[in-house]
Amino acid sequence: MTTPFRSPAGSATVFSTDQKIRVGSLNALRSSRTVFLGRNVFGGGVRSLPPSSSSSSSIQAVSTPAKPEAAKPTKRSKVEIIKEKSNFIRYPLNEELLTEAPNVNESAVQLIKFHGSYQQYNREERGGRSYSFMLRTKNPSGKVPNQLYLTMDDLADEFGIGTLRLTTRQTFQLHGVLKQNLKTVMSSIIRNMGSTLGACGDLNRNVLAPAAPYAKRDYLFAQETADNIAALLSPQSGFYYDMWVDGEQFMTAEPPEVVEARNDNSHGTNFVDSPEPIYGTQFLPRKFKIAVTVPTDNSVDLLTNDIGVVVVSDENGEPQGFNIYVGGGMGRTHRMESTFARIAEPLGYVPKEDILYAVKAIVVTQREHGRRDDRKYSRMKYLLSSWGIEKFRDVVEQYYGKKFEAPRDLPEWEFKSYLGWHEQGDGAWFCGLHVDSGRVGGNMKKTLREVIEKYKLDVRITPNQNIVLCDIKSEWKQSITTVLSQAGLLQPEFVDPLNQTAMACPAFPLCPLAITEAERGIPSILKRVRAMFEKVGLEYEESVVVRVTGCPNGCARPYMAEVGLVGDGPNSYQVWLGGTPNQTQIARAFMDKVKIQDLEKVFEPLFYNWKLGRQANESFGEFTTRMGFEKLKELISTYEASPQ
């Protein structure tokens, strides 16, 4: 059967096609002797013929005649101008890093994101700002070699705040790095098998894939594909290495198919002779997120990504191609209905040899037609919402050079945490460990370091902020289990089911966007939910997916949760209901401005009526959707507390 993917009803058109802007200009590119030969599907601008074209015209680039006196200058956001003037993400960051100031200026703040860092300050300090930098690594499929883990552990102690944070995109975040130490920390990561390049900024972010190190053809192929997509869309102009290791290159050899797909310009996708053949001077309009997985395994929150890729295998388990989904994204703005969370929808199927070309075509479509005038509407989901899937597919196919086939039917999705012990299939074992909100510190951090170092283990980070220890011999299992449990790293049967699926963003004190607590608040929230469960008679094994964010940007993907709490004021949350345990249905806003002390008034009646009125195997999210919000509010208003 085909898995149902449900989008929010009635997504409004946010902007019209005549508001799109072109990427770059001949003037902007002249300094690098680059001329963009990308195809403008709707006419006008600069166009190209494929190099192999047999057309009688030998013209390489044609600009449609225009009337300068009638043309209106295209509005661009401030960040677009910063990128254009930056000499491929170098200036003025290179100069700002040399000053004695503890911070960098606004232009450099925007540019350092592309290098994998955000400037922050402790918002709880009074009498001045203590600036520091958060660094985020880039780890396709969440893979972390042993050497890199030990390096990150050391850097956290020597240059950070003594903790590591596992993120919802399978990366590390290292907080508290001072500007004067940035180059030391960055170069240490680079020289120890790591990178922060493109972990932030207007380009492709870390590519997700299931963290489980199974020796299965489909899992291995998904992880290999994630690696190849990450390599394809990695910046090529050298700005990262120029800045942090004085131009020394630490790149591993790329598979020939990646190089071939990147260089191919047979359908007008590339900036010819540019240091950035895919990105050009302007890179993408906003961040871009991709996930790859296998059928049934939705550990990656597939539908929240700009592109979701699913391996399709034949009856013998041999990968044949991919289903592709497009247009997901979580970020929105309070009280602006024109901004919204959205889940991806099916685009089509491609054979396995075409996946890099198809992904590149989608990225180029967003590069060419995504909005660059207002960053609130610059994610690809708004382009999909404006155009519709049919028009979007038509444009992508012109850059791809082929028609997409119909998506293949897939089985139902499941959320898979990979906690506990599992056989890899190659004689070794892996062990998934739950880490509350991904924060590794204290005795837990010390013990993890000892185990990983002693047994020379590689690790993987999951999209649910947990960690997987890989390649463990059978004879090591008992001693590792004992040591870990003594540090609070318990097997899943000893972890509350509510905690196992919960997520929270860091929020206060360092995130500049936070409106209220998330990571520091969720332990208490989960305990209160468990107490409500006990009060209304729900069993311990029963659970709901709870996700908390300190602002509406949605880093912990609260809009896919059964219970999403989104900060909308001091000690106040907007409540979202209706997501599902397998993350295939988007939630909807239920109530605004719910004070943290009033959570029981909202949720105890709902949990009580779920227990009484649910259908067989009906999750809490499905129950709230079936009942409807009007009925749920009635249940809250008429509820009399159940007996203790």
Of the candidates 113, 289, 371, 379, the residue annotated as catalytic is 289
> pLDDT value at position 251?
62
Is the pLDDT at 165 greater than 60, yes or no? yes
* Residue listed under structure tokens 């540090």: 487
Selected catalytic residue, list 136, 342, 360, 547: 136
The answer, yes or no, to whether residue 155 has pLDDT greater than 70, is yes
Residue 639 has pLDDT above 70, yes or no: yes
Q: What is the pLDDT of residue 182?
A: 98
pTM for the model stands at 0.89
Decide if 126 is catalytic.
no
- How many helices (H) and strands (E) the chain has is answered by 19, 23
**625/644 Cα distance (integer angstroms):** 28
Could you say which of 39, 511, 547, 557 is catalytic? Answer: 511
Q: Which of 169, 470, 505, 557 is catalytic?
A: 505
- Average pLDDT of the residues in 626-639: 98
| Helix (H/G/I), strand (E/B), else coil: 403 | coil
Which of the pair, 490 or 6, is modelled with greater confidence? 490
287 in active site = yes
Given 169, 381, 551, 557, which residue is catalytic? 551
Q: Where does the pLDDT of residue 641 fall: very low under 50, low under 70, confident under 90, or very high at 90 and above? A: confident
What average pLDDT is seen over the chain? Answer: 90
Task: Extract the tokens encoding 31.
Answer: 């300094």
Phi, psi of 23, rounded to the nearest 5 degrees: -85, 120
Q: How far is the CA of 71 from the CAs of 29, 36, 68, 74, 142, in angstroms?
A: 20, 21, 5, 9, 48
The reported pLDDT for the residue numbered 126 is 87
Q: What are phi and psi of 486, to 5 degrees?
A: -65, -20
* Percent of the chain whose pLDDT exceeds 70: 88
Q: List pLDDT tens digits, range 72-81.
A: 568 999 999 9
> For this structure, is 289 an active site residue?
yes
Task: Tell me if 339 sits within 8 A of 333, measured CB to CB.
Answer: yes
431 has catalytic annotation: no
Model pLDDT for residues 224-245, shown as the tens digit of each residue: 999 999 999 999 999 999 999 9
Residue-level pLDDT at 642: 59
376 catalytic residue (yes or no): no
**How many whole angstroms separate alpha carbon 372 and alpha carbon 384?**
15
The closest of 534, 512, 585, 420 to 175, measured between CA atoms, is 512
Q: Which of 205, 262, 372, 460 is catalytic?
A: 205
Question: Cα separations (Å) of 287 from 12, 277, 370?
Answer: 22, 18, 11
Residue 296, Cα to own-chain centre: how many angstroms?
A: 20
Q: Is a pLDDT exceeding 80 seen at residue 413?
A: yes
Which entry of 262, 371, 555, 557 is annotated as an active-site residue?
555
**pLDDT tens digits, one per residue of 4-52:** 443 333 333 333 333 333 333 323 322 332 333 333 332 333 333 333 3
* Dist CA 189 CA 187 (whole Å): 5
**Given this model, what pLDDT does residue 127 score?**
85
Q: What is the CA radius of gyration of the chain?
A: 25
Tell me the mean pLDDT in the region 595-605: 98
Q: 380-387 vs 389-400: helix axis angle to the nearest 10?
A: 110
| Identified catalytic residue from 113, 138, 169, 287 | 287
Is residue 136 part of the annotated active site? The answer reads yes
DSSP annotation string for 30-67: HTTT-EE----TTSSSEE---TT---S---S-EE----
pLDDT of 15 reads 35
**Euclidean distance between CA atoms 435 and 462, whole angstroms:** 10
Pairing of strands 164-166, 439-440: antiparallel
